[in-house]
Amino acid sequence: MTIGIVGLGLIGGSLGLALQNTKLVSKVLGYDHNLTNCEDALSLNLIHEIVSFNEIKKCDIIFLAIPVGAIINTLGSLEDIDENTTVVDMGSTKGEIIKSVPTSIRANFVAAHPMAGTEKFGPHAAFKTLYQNKIVVFCGTKNTADFHKDRATQIFSHIGMRIVFMEENEHDKHACFISHLPHAISYALANSVIGQEDPKSILLLAAGGFEDMSRLAKSSPTMWTDIFKQNRENLLTSLELFETELSSCKQMIKDKKWDELESWMGDATTIHKIL
C-alpha cells in the first residue's frame, strides 16, 4: 500500500514516521507547499520521498494533515481520484470539512481526528510515537464505503490508535471542551501575565502548574485561528459556560462563601474519577 501525506508538520510527519514501521505500507510519499518543510521532512526521514501533488493523488491512501481551512480548499482538487483511493483528513474540526467533501469522492472519504498532538509544530516536532495508545475519532462514516472505512481502521490501529465513532456535530462539541476551549483559556492566561508591568518577575516564580496551564499558548496562532473559525458556534457556547463557572467562583470569593467555594472545588476534583 502506498501512502501520500499532504502536510509534513507535527501531524503529517509523525504519521509518516509511524507508518514506515508497519508491514501494511510499501512506500510513504510526502507533499508540502512549503519547500523548507519538504527538505526537513526528507532529512529527518519522516517520509521516503517528496513528490508532486499529482503523484500524491495516485497513492492508495491520501492523508490531509494541513490546517482545517486548507483541508477544505484541497478537497476540491481531489474530485477526480480513483474510486479505490482512500482520503483521510486529520483536522481538529469535522462538521465544516464533511460538508465540503465533493459528492464524487464522498464514499472515499474518512473524516478522522487523532486526539494527539503537542504545542510544537513543523517537521522537527514530529516523533514516531505521537499516536501510540491515543484515540482517533471517525465521523460521518455512514456515507463512507466499507472498503475505505476498513482501510483507515486498519492503518490507524496498526500505529497503535483506538478508534471511536462519533457523529460530527457531537465531535465538534466535545472537541471544543476538550481542546479548543482549553487553548483559548491558555492564550488568555498567558496574555494576562504578559500584560502586567513586570512579567519577568512574575514568571521567575513559575513552576509546573503555570507551565502546564500556559503550554497550549505555545501552539501555532495561524492553525488555531483556523480551528476557532471552523468551530465558532461551539466555541462561543463553551466559552460562555466556562465564564459562568469562573464568575461564580469569583462571586463566592467576593462574598467570602468559603464553604460553598470548597464544595465547588470538590465537584471539580470528581473529573479525575472519569479521566
Q: Interaction with its own copies in 219-238: which residues (CB under 8 A)? A: 219, 221-222, 224-225, 228-229, 232, 235-236, 238
> How many chain residues are in contact with its own copies, going by CB under 8 A?
91
- Residue 152 to residues 36, 85, 89, 268, Cα–Cα distance (Å): 29, 11, 11, 37
Asked whether position 264 contacts its own copies by CB under 8 A, the answer is yes
Applying CB under 8 A, which part among 7-15, 56-64, 152-160, 249-257 lies near its own copies?
249-257
Asked whether position 132 contacts its own copies by CB under 8 A, the answer is no
What is the amino acid identity at position 125? A
Residues between 13 and 42 with contacts to its own copies, criterion CB under 8 A? none
Minimal distance, residue 57 CB to its own copies, in Å = 30
Minimal distance, residue 161 CB to its own copies, in Å = 11
Question: What residues contact 76, with CB distance under 8 A and at least 6 apart?
Answer: 102
Nearer to its own copies, 86 or 179 (CB): 179
Torsion of CA 149, 153, 154, 159, to 10 degrees: 150
Dist. CA 54–CA 56, nearest whole Å? 5
Minimal distance, residue 66 CB to its own copies, in Å = 17
Nearer to its own copies, 46 or 116 (CB): 116
Residues between 133 and 192 with contacts to its own copies, criterion CB under 8 A? 134-135, 137, 164, 166, 170-171, 174-175, 177-179, 181-192
C-alpha cell recorded at residue 43: 532529512
Dist. CA 198–CA 239, nearest whole Å? 28
Nearest to 15 by CA among 85, 99, 98, 88: 88
Applying CB under 8 A, which part among 83-91, 95-103, 142-150, 216-224 lies near its own copies?
216-224
Which own/partner pairs from 232-239 qualify as long-range (CB within 8 Å, at least 24 positions apart)?
A: 234/172, 234/173, 234/176, 234/180, 235/176, 235/180, 235/181, 235/184, 237/176, 238/176, 238/177, 238/180, 238/181, 239/181, 239/184
Of 23, 52, 80, 195, which one interacts with its own copies (CB under 8 A)? Answer: 195
Nearer to its own copies, 35 or 204 (CB): 204
Q: Tell whether the torsion through CA atoms of 41, 42, 46 and 50 is positive or negative.
A: positive
Residues between 46 and 85 with contacts to its own copies, criterion CB under 8 A? none
Applying CB under 8 A, which part among 2-10, 54-62, 95-103, 130-138 lies near its own copies?
130-138
Minimal distance, residue 262 CB to its own copies, in Å = 4
Asked whether position 128 contacts its own copies by CB under 8 A, the answer is no
CB 41 within 8 A of CB 11: no
